[in-house]
């Protein structure tokens, strides 16, 4: 409202400079103006907004940007390198919203990115400038009296009130300095008080100046006074909830609020009514997300509540309850990962990442809580591995196992963190770190007679042998681990992945029939339990078997479902393996040009996974076969041209392209079946029937 001139001016500033920072007092509407102005950008690669408000640690600024850009990186390289690689050849606008508490980290990031990405523009939003060379400042002034009065009337109408346009309304807006947040807080009270009553109460508070120190800037005092005045008008229960809600980072749901904030003076069963009251007063906002309805507080309001929480002497207890809730959430989500709710779990964990990070920071900050931090970092293995956050998971796991928990701490927590760290390091191709963690896990597990940790350590050591082409040892270790799982009654996504990995060892040794048998068993178990993540890896093996059996149509069907599932989970490894195999299927179908494009797309994806095809001769065989066939049909020059075309595709474009069946052949003769070559797995027996679809249902 009333920002047309500012919008036009900000658009001109963005057109003239590569770095613009919108500054102004809290609550003046910086974020709304920036988002609206950014929406007008016509840069080819779009606008990407990064909400830095929930980020408390400067170390996570780069991770927040990586996540906002939808990037996934499984390697050990720093997230800054991932950003530089991604942005190097793109023309886009990056909106960094809420930089004031992370100015140094944001300034260093912006300087680095702008220096290496010529097509990048940055719109920063904060109460303080970044103070770097080339920065154009855009100070945002409060609303004029007319605009402020209109905002007050609109917000009041949403509360069912009609304050009119009398002198009291205009005077109230003047006294609130036209700050939109202060006006919205006042509008939230117009259902119970008249503008004149609010003005008289506000006048008293301004005279007392209890909302801010005399050294503060006048408009900072105005906002804090308006918030403090609204706080004074709250009931004791509303004040308690306001203070306790301040422990949440980012958003939260009702169940979390009831558990964390319930207690002395505010029973859990009263939290909903009190939360609804704060919602009506604009202290809390509600939003719909893929994880369901969630609530959040503006940072200014949250900070005020945090000050009050410290003053109550209850901060430590509430933070501990916050950690306990998210430890419980991670534990239940780990169990539910092996269920039909896998996608819901992934969405829930993504929504709760800021709070989970807060719980990890709290637990790993002191020795008395370290074992809980280790357990939490280990329990989130499905988030790190299955949902494309290996790099962040590695950071937490390294920190967790690097801390001494003391002799009295439960060994279980450290053992879990160790095998998960080993698993993450295996997938990152960091063999030294993987072996170190897994050997320590095995030694400690044997000493503690912990059969579960021993099975996991052996399993992941088998995975390491598999990707380093020690196939015989991999088979021995994986069979032993699966026997251990059976003895202790362990059945989950990890166990099913162990069976798929065993199937890969059989395929690499030439026994595709046995590989198919193992993966069909996995497929049936996945169908029984609604599991989709491990199933996608089983589909990958079954697709290769179908292609080897001369049925590229069936192979494409399996790979299409595999890629759709893995991409939905942000599992970059399964995604790129699927694209690689789809390229082979595509060239077999007579589409050599499209196959080369897909190989180029996969080539661009691999650096975010690690060493291409693990540097393994066995994993590399389908790629080499596809390349040889496509080169023969296209010629070297045209093949390389198609690869370059594929390398220009973004990850989303590459996946969409891979899922789209080519319309017509290239006009070149297509092989009738697989083209044998040295090093490729050979079939020794005809594989069993792959799962087929009948009547819309998947059957074995």
Q: 234-245 pLDDT, tens per residue?
A: 899 999 999 999
Instruction: Find all residues with CB under 8 Å of 72, minimum gap 6, and list them.
Output: 388, 389, 570, 572, 608, 651
4-139 — its CATH code?
3.40.50.300
Cα dihedral sign, 225-227-233-235: negative
Cα dihedral sign, 470-476-480-485: positive
String of DSSP letters for 183-212: HHHHHTTTTTS-HHHHHHHHHHHHHHTTTS
Q: Residue 183: pLDDT above 70?
A: yes
Burial of 569-579, coded b for 16+ CB within 10 Å and e otherwise, reads bbbbbbbbbbb
Q: Residue 688: pLDDT above 60?
A: no
Phi, psi of 21 (to 5 degrees): -120, 120
| Burial label, 55 (beta-carbon count in 10 A; 0-12, 13-18, 19+) | buried
414, 374 in Cβ contact below 8 A?
yes
Between CA 543 and CA 551 the distance in angstroms is 9
Two tokens, residue 639: 């093949």
Residue 316 to residues 129, 247, 549, 600: CA-CA distances in angstroms? 33, 10, 63, 53
Residue 40 to residues 13, 34, 453: CA-CA distances in angstroms? 13, 10, 54
The helix (run of H) or strand (run of E) holding residue 611 is: none
Max CA separation in the chain (angstroms):
91
Between CA 308 and CA 189 the distance in angstroms is 21
Between CA 486 and CA 82 the distance in angstroms is 40
* HSE-CB for 15 with a 13 A CA cutoff: 10
User: What confidence score (pLDDT) does residue 404 get?
Assistant: 76
User: What confidence score (pLDDT) does residue 407 get?
Assistant: 61
Once rounded to an integer, what is the mean pLDDT over residues 190-216?
61
Between CA 207 and CA 189 the distance in angstroms is 20
For 649-684, the pLDDT digits (tens) are: 988 999 999 998 876 555 444 443 443 333 333 333
- What pairs with residue 28 in β-bridges? none
> For 152-156, 163-167, 391-395, 551-555, which range has the lowest pLDDT when averaged over its residues?
163-167
Alpha carbon dihedral 158, 164, 166, 168, in 10-degree steps, equals: -30
User: What confidence score (pLDDT) does residue 216 get?
Assistant: 42
Between CA 152 and CA 657 the distance in angstroms is 50
Between CA 49 and CA 71 the distance in angstroms is 14
Residue 373 to residues 326, 382, 411, 676: CA-CA distances in angstroms? 11, 16, 13, 51
For 499-536, the pLDDT digits (tens) are: 999 999 999 999 999 999 999 999 999 999 999 999 99
User: What confidence score (pLDDT) does residue 211 get?
Assistant: 35
Percent of the chain exceeding pLDDT 70 equals 91
Read off the DSSP letter of residue 213. -
Cα dihedral sign, 655-659-662-663: negative
For 399-411, the pLDDT digits (tens) are: 999 987 666 567 8
For 19-40, the pLDDT digits (tens) are: 999 998 788 889 999 999 999 9
124, 99 in Cβ contact below 8 A?
yes
Phi, psi of 375 (to 5 degrees): -65, -40
Q: Residue 327: pLDDT above 70?
A: yes
Q: Residue 453: pLDDT above 80?
A: yes
Q: How confident is the model at residue 181 (pLDDT cuts 50, 70, 90)?
A: confident
- What pairs with residue 232 in β-bridges? none
Residue 603 to residues 268, 589, 599, 600: CA-CA distances in angstroms? 53, 21, 6, 5
Neighbours of 538 (CB within 10 A): 28
Q: By C-alpha distance, which of 19, 110, 21 is closest to 62?
A: 110
Q: Which of 198-207, 275-284, 564-573 is predicted most confidently?
A: 564-573
Cα dihedral sign, 33-34-35-40: positive
> For 328-332, 490-494, 648-652, 674-678, which range has the lowest pLDDT when averaged over its residues?
674-678
């Amino acid at each position: 409202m009333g920002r047309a001139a500012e919008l036009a001016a900000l658009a001109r500033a963005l057109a003239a400079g590569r770095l613009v920072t919108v500054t102004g007092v809290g609550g003046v509407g910086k974020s709304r103006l920036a988002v609206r102005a950014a929406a007008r950008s016509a840069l080819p690669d779009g606008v990407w907004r990064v909400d830095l408000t929930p980020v408390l640690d400067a170390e996570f600024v780069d991770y927040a940007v990586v996540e906002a850009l939808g990037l996934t990186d499984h390697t050990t390289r720093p997230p800054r390198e991932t950003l530089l690689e991604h942005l190097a050849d793109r023309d886009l606008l990056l909106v960094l919203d809420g930089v004031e508490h992370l100015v140094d980290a944001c300034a260093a990031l912006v300087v680095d990115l702008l220096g290496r990405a010529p097509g990048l523009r940055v719109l920063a939003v904060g109460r303080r400038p970044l103070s770097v060379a080339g920065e154009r400042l855009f100070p945002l002034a409060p609303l004029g009296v007319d605009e402020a009065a209109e905002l007050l009337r609109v917000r009041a109408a949403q509360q069912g009130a009609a304050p009119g346009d009398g002198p009291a309304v205009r005077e109230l807006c003047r006294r609130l300095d036209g700050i939109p947040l202060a006006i919205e807080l006042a509008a939230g009270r117009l259902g119970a008080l008249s503008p004149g009553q609010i003005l008289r109460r506000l006048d008293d508070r301004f005279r007392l100046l209890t909302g801010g120190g005399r050294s503060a800037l006048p408009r900072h005092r105005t906002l804090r006074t308006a918030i403090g005045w609204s706080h004074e008008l709250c009931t004791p229960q509303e004040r308690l909830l306001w203070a306790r809600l301040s422990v949440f980072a980012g958003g939260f749901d009702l169940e979390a609020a009831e558990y964390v904030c319930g207690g002395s003076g505010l029973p859990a069963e009263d939290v909903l009514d009190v939360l609804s009251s704060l919602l009506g007063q604009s202290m809390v906002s509600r939003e719909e997300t893929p994880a369901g309805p969630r609530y959040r507080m503006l940072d200014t309001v949250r900070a005020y509540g945090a000050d009050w929480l410290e003053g109550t002497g209850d901060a430590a207890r509430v933070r501990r309850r916050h950690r306990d809730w998210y430890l419980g959430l991670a534990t239940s989500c780990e169990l539910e990962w092996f269920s039909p709710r896998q996608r819901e779990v992934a969405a829930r964990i993504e929504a709760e990442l800021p709070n989970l990070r807060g719980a990890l920071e709290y637990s790993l900050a002191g020795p008395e809580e370290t074992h809980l931090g280790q357990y939490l970092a280990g329990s989130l293995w499905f988030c790190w591995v299955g949902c494309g956050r290996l790099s962040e998971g590695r950071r937490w796991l390294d920190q967790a196992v690097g801390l001494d928990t003391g002799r009295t701490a439960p060994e279980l927590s450290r053992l879990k963190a160790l095998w998960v760290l080993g698993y993450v390091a295996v997938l990152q191709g960091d063999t030294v770190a993987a072996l170190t963690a897994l050997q320590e896990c095995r030694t400690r597990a044997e000493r503690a007679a912990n059969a579960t940790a021993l099975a996991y350590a052996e399993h992941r050591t088998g995975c390491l042998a598999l990707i380093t082409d020690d196939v015989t040892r991999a088979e021995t270790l994986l069979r032993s681990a699966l026997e251990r799982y059976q003895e202790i009654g362990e059945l989950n996504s990890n166990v099913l992945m162990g069976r798929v990995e065993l199937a890969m060892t059989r395929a690499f040794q030439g026994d595709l029939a046995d590989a198919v048998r193992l993966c069909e068993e996995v497929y049936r178990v996945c169908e029984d339990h609604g599991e989709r993540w491990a199933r996608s890896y089983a589909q990958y093996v079954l697709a290769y078997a179908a292609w080897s059996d001369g049925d590229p149509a069936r192979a494409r069907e399996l790979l299409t479902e595999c890629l759709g599932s893995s991409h939905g989970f942000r599992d970059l490894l399964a995604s790129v393996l699927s694209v690689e195999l789809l390229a082979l299927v595509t060239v077999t179908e007579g589409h050599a040009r499209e196959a080369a494009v897909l190989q180029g797309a996969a080539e661009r994806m691999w650096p975010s996974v690690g060493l291409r095809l693990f540097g393994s001769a066995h994993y590399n065989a389908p790629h080499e076969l596809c390349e040889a066939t496509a080169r023969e049909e296209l010629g070297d020059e045209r093949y390389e041209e198609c690869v370059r075309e594929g390398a220009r595709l973004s990850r989303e474009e590459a996946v969409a392209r891979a899922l789209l069946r080519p319309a017509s052949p290239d006009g070149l003769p297509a092989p009738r079946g697989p083209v044998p070559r040295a090093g490729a797995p050979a079939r020794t027996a005809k594989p069993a029937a792959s799962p087929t679809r009948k009547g819309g249902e998947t059957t074995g």
